[in-house]
């Protein structure tokens, strides 16, 4: 696998651009192909998400583009919110010169406010003529969809060689209201891999389960979140279909995991990325539950912020995680310092351990000693800045 430049425009047939006007951004992507998605588990689903799901169902997964707005979620806006989403799609379709019914819609931002449609229309009119197949285009789109993010999330990879070579490119946003089972996050992934929709759907679900669904920032789940994977139409016949599909799965899992790490590292107010590795679980479900519980624990997050090597908080999170655990078999290390082995606390230098916890990433390693399954979750510390930012989010 090779990292390459270009973001979503590393994939042939993808054109993109975006712009920002203060807190409000808009991105357009023109790409024809089959699309599958994974969506928020929140029972209240925003108008853009409802429309996108309906359009993919009616078109049997075919799409010709997407319009994404940031700054306003268009959620809890009633019938008029759905009308605004439909109008947004129509404006984007006309501006991009594609079929009206084949443009998807996504929005992110404040819940409960109607879209500023005059601004949306103006942004679409300005962005559409700028669409281009270039790294600049992907960069502009990636920056336009951000809200409280401090940095863009963009990646592209190539996997394999010859006729089995697969290219994937993605842009995403997400910094707060992030909790497993899809978080406040949008991710738009494009690939030149030509595979049936059921194969794409299974591959996306598998990739999401070990990446975005293992990401937790603040235990809040949004109404708008979606991950879309589009297989852009191209002419290619792989010599070995099995290898071709495996290349897609490998690349897709890597892309989703890297985007999840980017989101955790760039979380609202965060100073430290927390990576929790769990091994020795009886099942993959147990491994994931244990890792998520530790990464999402408020007490673990504050201990990381304070550089406090308090392994008891990790143990407590494991105990309530729902995973099958046995205190007498559990081992815990924080920042490479072994603190518990087989249920027995180990002597360690507190000051040395605290210094080891400094840095942009902190790794917590856990061995449950119960089986052979493993999982990784990502989170971040909890800081004063997070509280300050979210106490004045709408002002």
What pLDDT score was predicted for residue 177?
47
Residue 385 annotated as lining a ligand binding site: no
Check whether 184 has a pLDDT greater than 80: no
Residue 12 annotated as lining a ligand binding site: no
What pLDDT score was predicted for residue 180?
43
CA distance 302 to 217: 12
CATH 3.60.70.12 region(s) of the chain?
2-265
- Per the prediction, the chain carries an average pLDDT of 92
Lowest mean pLDDT among 41-45, 56-60, 290-294: 41-45
Mean pLDDT, to the nearest integer, of 355-366?
A: 97
What pLDDT score was predicted for residue 253?
98
What pLDDT score was predicted for residue 174?
78
Residue 161 annotated as lining a ligand binding site: no
What pLDDT score was predicted for residue 150?
79
Check whether 395 has a pLDDT greater than 50: no
Mean pLDDT, to the nearest integer, of 320-325?
A: 98
CA distance 70 to 348: 48
Check whether 148 has a pLDDT greater than 50: yes
Residue 152 annotated as lining a ligand binding site: no
Check whether 234 has a pLDDT greater than 60: yes
Residue 390 annotated as lining a ligand binding site: yes
Residue 230 annotated as lining a ligand binding site: no
Where residue 149 falls among pLDDT bands split at 50, 70, 90?
confident
- Which tops the pLDDT comparison, 191 or 268? 191
What pLDDT score was predicted for residue 94?
98
Residues involved in catalysis: 184
Mean pLDDT, to the nearest integer, of 121-143?
A: 98
CATH 3.10.20.340 region(s) of the chain?
273-391
Domain 2-265 has CATH 3.40.190.10: no
CA distance 276 to 292: 8
What pLDDT score was predicted for residue 183?
41
What pLDDT score was predicted for residue 200?
97
Check whether 267 has a pLDDT greater than 90: no
Name the CATH topology of 273-391. Answer: Ubiquitin-like (UB roll) (3.10.20)
Lowest mean pLDDT among 22-31, 158-167, 176-185, 206-215: 176-185
What pLDDT score was predicted for residue 181?
44
């Amino acid at each position: 696998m090779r990292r390459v430049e270009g973001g979503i425009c590393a994939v042939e047939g993808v054109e993109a651009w975006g712009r920002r006007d203060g807190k409000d951004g808009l991105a357009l992507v023109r790409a024809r192909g089959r699309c599958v998605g994974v969506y928020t588990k929140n029972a209240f689903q925003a108008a853009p998400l409802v429309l996108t799901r309906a359009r993919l169902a009616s078109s049997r997964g075919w799409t010709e583009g997407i319009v994404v707005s940031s700054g306003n979620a268009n959620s809890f806006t009633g019938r008029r919110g759905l009308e605004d989403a439909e109008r947004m799609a129509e404006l984007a379709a006309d501006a991009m010169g594609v079929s009206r019914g084949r443009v998807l819609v996504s929005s992110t931002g404040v819940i409960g406010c109607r879209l500023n449609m005059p601004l949306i229309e103006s942004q679409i009119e300005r962005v559409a003529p700028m669409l281009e197949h270039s790294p600049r285009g992907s960069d502009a789109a990636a920056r336009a969809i951000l809200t409280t993010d401090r940095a863009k999330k963009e990646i592209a990879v190539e996997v394999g060689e010859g006729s089995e070579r697969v290219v994937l490119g993605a842009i995403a946003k997400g910094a707060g209201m992030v909790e497993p089972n899809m978080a406040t996050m949008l991710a738009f992934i494009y690939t030149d891999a030509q595979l049936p929709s059921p194969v794409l759907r299974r591959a996306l679900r598998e990739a999401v389960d070990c990446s975005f669904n293992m990401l937790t920032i603040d235990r809040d789940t949004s109404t708008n979140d979606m991950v879309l994977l589009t297989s852009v139409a191209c002419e290619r016949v792989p010599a070995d279909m099995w290898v071709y599909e495996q290349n897609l799965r490998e690349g897709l899992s890597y892309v989703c995991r890297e985007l999840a790490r980017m989101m955790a590292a760039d979380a609202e107010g965060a100073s430290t990325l927390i990576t929790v590795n769990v091994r020795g679980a009886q099942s993959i479900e147990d491994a994931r539950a244990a890792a998520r519980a530790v990464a999402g624990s408020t007490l673990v997050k504050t201990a990381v912020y304070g550089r406090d090597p308090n392994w008891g908080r990790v143990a407590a999170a494991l105990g309530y995680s729902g995973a099958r655990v046995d205190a007498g078999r559990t081992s815990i290390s924080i920042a490479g310092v072994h603190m518990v082995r087989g249920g027995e606390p180990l002597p360690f230098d507190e000051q040395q351990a605290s210094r080891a916890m400094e840095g942009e990433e902190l790794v917590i390693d856990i061995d449950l000693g119960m089986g052979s399954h493993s999982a990784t979750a990502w989170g971040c510390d909890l800081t004063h800045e997070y509280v300050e930012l979210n106490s004045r989010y709408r002002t």
